[in-house]
Structure 1
Amino acid sequence: MATSEKIKELDSSSFDSEVLEASTPVLVDFWAPWCGPCKMLAPILDELAGELDGKIKICKVDVEENTDLAAKYGVNRLPTMLVYKDGAVADQIIGMTSKAELSDRLAKLA
């Protein structure tokens, strides 16, 4: 799935340094190529990545390729977005959501 140049694809080797050690909050979108709602969410995340650049980092984890990360963070429904702040999960959003709701929830953490 093509994503914005502002959205970084993560795997087990890059997750800790990109997310847990980040100086800004990080939204991690756990998704799969076959997930319809994940595909509908992608353009919203692309827009937010541009609007929130420098305030909140947005990353993606393909759960098909990174089953270890999905298991470690208890992801069993897609899409699941976990927002990390200071190395810990600060918010969890499961399922499709509107850009307005997602933006509001992220604004509280930025």
Structure 2
Amino acid sequence: MSANDVYSEFIRQLPQADAPLAGVDVRLISGPTAQAAFFFLPAGTRVPPHSHCAQWGIVVEGEIELTIGMATHIFHRGDRYHIADGETHAALITKDSWVIDVFADPKRYAEK
């Protein structure tokens, strides 16, 4: 499956983020109070423990192992998650995944 199968053309044409992880593609919509990010994360990607503003997300396709605080869960298509402001979290992408995250910071990611 590719981004062409998951995200519409107009989403693939959104500004690209300066993503900190190799192979990860992020497309952005920024508003005055929040930023939405359309992610493609290849299998095997590890997101190291970190924290930032509040985050809400949904898995569009794929599978991610997400640790929020001390709890680890596997998320699949349609599963949603919320990460509180300042809460430490990390992820392992177990299958190629497409995820939409919304951040409570309109400048969470800079454009490329």
TM-score by length of structure 2 reads 0.31
Choose between structure 1 and 2: higher strand proportion.
2
Instruction: Look at both structures and tell me which one has the larger radius of gyration over its CA atoms.
Output: 2
Choose between structure 1 and 2: higher helix proportion.
1
